[in-house]
Structure 1
């Protein structure tokens, strides 16, 4: 302090002024340093808040993904079970198809046998029909062979009676002329037969 006493007032003033300026400058530098530090801290705080938010968002996303993974795993297991069920169903249907094909082969063989039997039955039916037809024809021929001469004789008698006069002796039944095809068997014919 003794130095201060010996100094002159002006010099003292200048020294104080210089010291004050340096102090003000040091305060400004300290203020600037504090402001820079404060800004850096605020930026670091913002980055940390953003990191915490990102971390929270990441945890939320991880939780969502875990939920989706659980659902996907459940769906995969369900799809696997459904696939196994479908495979069992396909195997059963393949077995049924083989059985049906075997049954179809047996049915086709049976149909072949039945077709042969049907063909034999149709042939037998045709033979029976033909035999029935032949019998019918024979019966009809026999019936006509018996009936036609009688009808023809009746017709010939009717025509003979119309042609011959009522009072004529030719009108008697024994005098009627019958062609040989319609004469009654065992009859000797008529006078006209004797004439011819």
Structure 2
């Protein structure tokens, strides 16, 4: 009898399983394809006059300076990207050169005829940054020579520079009245590395 009961239970179980798989159900499938993440562009440009902006551009060239003369450098930095810029910095890389054969007056006082001395006498009078009608004076760099500022990180801007907005940077540089004959026929080449961060 026990065997019969086991056989009947097994048959009932097979019947119920068969009943379950024998029934039809409606079904459907939904798919989601092509999902993606992407980023925008983070980009700044430099300009001499605020009209056209470039990744690399020469913004100044001054020649035939005399001791005591002053020149103003003006350039613009624009946010050309899709994100606000929160910080802009600049590093000046200064290279001094002797241009050609030293003059007779220079030979008498120049103990390094292969290396120029001009950056030692090019003095930063002030650096100003204008943004949205506000002018910030960066006093901590005033009175220093280009040689002293060589390789120094100069913070130009902290805030929120929105897309398509620009800051104006003005630097006044003076050839020191103390510059002597050792500076004759010298050139200081100034490369400005400008960096921005989000």
Do both proteins adopt the same fold according to a TM-score greater than 0.5, normalized to the shorter chain? no
Greater share of strand: 2
TM-score of the pair, normalised by structure 2: 0.23
Greater share of helix: 1
Which has the larger Rg? 1
Higher relative contact order (CA 8 A, sep 6+): 2
